[in-house]
Amino acid sequence: MTSLPQPAPFLRDILAVSAAQPTQPAGWRRRSVLASAGMLLGAAATWTPPARAATSWERTGATVDAQRLVRWAVASADHQGMPFAVIDKPAATIHVFGPGGDHAGSAPVLLGSALGDHSAPGIGQKPLSQVRPHERTTPAGRFVSEPGSNLQGHDIVWIDYEAAVSLHRVRGAPAERRVQRLASPVLAERRISNGCVNAPTAFYNRHIAPWLGREAGVVYVLPDSEPFAAFFPAADAAYPLARLPS
């Protein structure tokens, strides 16, 4: 492991082709937040989930856990009036919402090639060549995101700066066929990155850059290995599967 002055000098996906280091925004301190179970359960006890029918975005194929999380986030105001996104790892899909909870759009994404819901210790300080296959995970949880950029001027959205996990436009070596993988209906095809989340370029420009690319937001990442309740206990308690409106 190489000790470097920057906490996350190697952008694992963004630097798949170039080994340049990212720059940390001046005067900005990484704010990655995974809310504790006690805090979330306490919040769930202060309000009653409203009864309503499924919305249009839910009827177009959103997974049940994504629906539960969005309903809870909006009803409890957990996103604190900020734009937010739900990255549904089991479906390899992203859903983006404005500050008022309005659905901006959804699209397929590429994710870490390894299953797992936690980042390996010190992963953000490892050169890409030293990241082992089982460490290429996209961590689950609740994160406060920040816009950023790399030295090539590519704008990105930091999900977890210290772990070098970001959301950005799809890019990579032609041999990896990342654009083609995004269009594949086979979910296994969308597990290719070193942990970062790759979104279609047009979708990023239209729905991610105007919101999460300009201001702080909240990014919820659903787990692919551990139970939903392990990361979002309040949402699980507020919207049990048996009571989810149809």
Question: What pTM value is reported for the model?
Answer: 0.78
Residues in the chain, overall count: 246
Domain segments of the chain as ranges: 22-26+33-243
pLDDT at 60 (0 to 100): 67
**Count of alpha carbons within 13 angstroms of residue 21, beta-carbon side:** 13
pLDDT at 21 (0 to 100): 35
pLDDT at 150 (0 to 100): 72
Does the domain formed by 22-26+33-243 have CATH 3.10.150.10?
no
What gap in Å lies between CA 177 and CA 23, rounded to an integer?
27
| pLDDT (tens place) for every residue of the chain, 246 residues total | 333 333 333 333 333 333 333 444 433 444 443 333 333 333 433 434 444 445 678 776 799 999 999 999 999 999 999 999 999 999 999 999 999 999 999 999 999 999 999 999 989 888 888 899 999 999 999 999 999 987 677 899 999 999 999 999 998 889 999 999 999 999 999 999 999 999 999 999 999 999 999 999 999 999 999 999 999 999 999 999 865 655
Place of tokens 């700066």: 161
